[in-house]
Structures are given as structure tokens and as C-alpha cells.
Amino acid sequence: MAGVAREPQPGLGLTPPKALQAKGLDQFIEACEAIYDSQLGADQLEALRVRDQRSSAGGARPKRTYLGDRKLILAKPRDAFDHYDLPSVEHACMTFAGLKGLQAANTSLYRGEKINTLLVERFDRMFDEQTGRFRRLPMLSGLTLLDAEWKARSHPDWQYAALADELYRRGAPDQDRRELYQRMAYNVLVGNGDDHPRNHAVIWKDGTWRLSPMYDVLPILDEGPAQALAMSVGIEGPRLNRGNLLSQHSHFALNKSQAEAVLDEVASWEAELHDYYSQFLAGAELDAAVTATSGVRLKR
């Protein structure tokens, strides 16, 4: 389908840069474990520079940025209270998307002695060869683009079609709107019901606003296939069925036949995704991730 990449993006699933290990990643992981056990005070946390950062990778868990190979890498350790190994689940989900041509943030998995840590390459920073420093790329979240509320009881403004309209209004190329549609379908496939507007963004690059790489994409486990997404997917709101997913196709620079082809293609990935998960997951994590995966609502 025109405008959607068909080749895996470079850098997917790379092993963690050696520089990360030299800069105390293991110490940071141990500090996070101490945080969960309430063993560290505010002064100790400041000394270790451990905080609830909010950045391009989103979320409110302890995380820290490292420098490796002229890239800024965000380290997100497994939460001690997580029932599942979410770093491994997210890494598998993100790298599979990248292998299928979606523009996903590059990730790798650091396997520690006790817990695994997801490493995410920050796409909102770029190394400047002339100054030898990183510069911040302007970035707007989907919540800002939609001028929507975060803490409201209901979220009528959380709409994929409206987000696609904002991409058009800000001059993003049509391929970004088509990519957004495919991401919506992928969220349905993997069972990512946490696809709220803060998990979408645009970034200013090469003189224009572009849809940022996808991030924070993983299934909600223990709930089976997604019954709805956080954002409306069509005229029937967040309800998941093929008719609703197709109902606003024109907002994504797609005719109906093209939109149908996207849904069919993403649905066809289901069995392959099951096999891919098995490369990273086992036991309860694998069972839960596979159970969350379903292409049924993309088909009917």
C-alpha cells in the first residue's frame, strides 16, 4: 500500500551499547529495586539522578537517560511490582512492529542478573557534530495536538481521525496519516488498549512536522484481546469492529480499498507475531501476550 514502509528500519533490536554498562546501568537497576523497597531517601535519589522522568518514551516509572554511541538511551527497568516482565514484552512488540515497516523507536533489551531493562533510543534528541552536544527536537504530544483534557471523566476528543486531521493541518505528508492508520490497526492486533494521546506525538525534523516514531506500545495483559482502545477508532467511538475501523478512512489519506488492505495485512500478522513473541517470552508472559493478540476485530 502506498506510503507505508515495507522494509525493516535500521537499528532494530541492537545489543545494548557497551558504554551503557560502563556508566553504571547495573547500579541504577539496583537503585530502582531499593526505591520499590523504600530503602532510599530523597538525597540518595538525587545523588543517583533517579527520578520519575517524563520524556519522549512516556510513563511515570523510574527511568534514566544514558549516553552510548552518540545516542541518548532511556533505561526503563522492570517494576518490582509487575506481575509480568513488561520490558521483554514491550521490546518484542516494538521490534516486531519495526520489522513490519512501522516507524518504531529503536529498542534493545538489557538482561540483568535479577531483572530485565528496556533500552529505548531517544528520538527527540539529535547529536550535533559541530558542537559535540545533543540538541532537542521540538515535539508535541497528541494530547496537545487535540487540545484535549487528560483527567476528564470522558474523552470525546481522543480520536484517531482528529489526530490525522492535525497531521494534515500541520503539513505532515500523507504517508504519516497512513502510518497512523496502520498503527491503530496494530494496537488492535496486539491488544494495546493504552494508546492514549500522550503515546502519540509529532516531531519537528528537517523543516517540517512529522509523526514521531511509535513508543510505549505493548499489550494490556490478563485481559485477553482488546475490547476497545483508549482513542476512538471511528464513528462508533472506540468500539472495535471492521466497519468502525473503516468508517473514517478518508481522514488517513486512504480510499476504502486501501484501508481494507491495511486491516487485512495487519490481521495476517497474528500467527507470525505469536512465533515472534516466543523468541523473547516464555511461560506466563508468553501465554498472556499471545492471548491478548487477535486479528478478529480487524476482519469483521
Average pLDDT, the chain: 85
If pLDDT is split at 50, 70 and 90, which confidence band does 298 have? very high
Mind listing the pLDDT tens digit for each residue in 252-279? 999 999 999 999 999 999 999 999 999 9
Least confident of 29-43, 164-178, 190-204, 274-288: 29-43
Q: What is the CATH number of the domain that holds 25?
A: 3.30.200.120
pLDDT of residue 5: 46
Half-sphere CA count of 149, side-chain side, radius 13 A? 6
Which residue, 91, 121, 151, sits at the end of a domain?
121
- Check if the beta carbon of residue 292 is closer than 8 Å to that of residue 276: no
Residue % of the chain over a pLDDT of 90: 62
* Structural domain count of the chain: 2
**Is residue 7 in some structural domain?**
no
70 and 181: one domain?
A: no
Q: Is the pLDDT of residue 90 over 80?
A: yes
Q: Is the pLDDT of residue 109 over 80?
A: yes
Least confident of 50-64, 127-141, 203-217: 50-64
pLDDT of residue 55: 35
256 and 179: one domain?
A: yes
DSSP assignment of 17-79 equals PHHHHHTTHHHHHHHHHHHHTT---HHHHHHHT-B---STT--SS-BEEEEETTEEEEEEEPP
Mean pLDDT for 66-73 is 80
117 and 178: one domain?
A: no
| CA distance to 75, 92, 166, 210, 223, per residue, from 171 (Å) | 33, 32, 9, 8, 38
197 and 107: one domain?
A: no
Least confident of 66-70, 85-89, 229-233, 292-296: 66-70
**Is residue 130 in some structural domain?**
no
185 and 247: one domain?
A: yes
pLDDT of residue 250: 99
Q: Print the domain residue range for 26.
A: 18-44+51-121
Q: What is the CATH number of the domain that holds 218?
A: 1.10.1070.20
Please name which of 275, 282, 288 lies closest in space to residue 116, comparing C-alpha atoms. Answer: 282
Helix (H, G, I), strand (E, B) or coil at 176: helix
**Is residue 228 in some structural domain?**
yes
190 and 88: one domain?
A: no
Mean pLDDT for 236-264 is 98
Residue % of the chain over a pLDDT of 70: 79
Mind listing the pLDDT tens digit for each residue in 155-182? 999 999 999 999 999 999 999 999 999 9
pLDDT of residue 57: 39
255 and 191: one domain?
A: yes
- Check if the beta carbon of residue 273 is closer than 8 Å to that of residue 283: no
Report how far apart the first and last C-alpha atoms of the chain are (Å, whole number).
Answer: 21
**Is residue 102 in some structural domain?**
yes
pLDDT of residue 7: 54
Where do runs of H (alpha helix) occur along 108-159? 142-145
If pLDDT is split at 50, 70 and 90, which confidence band does 113 have? confident
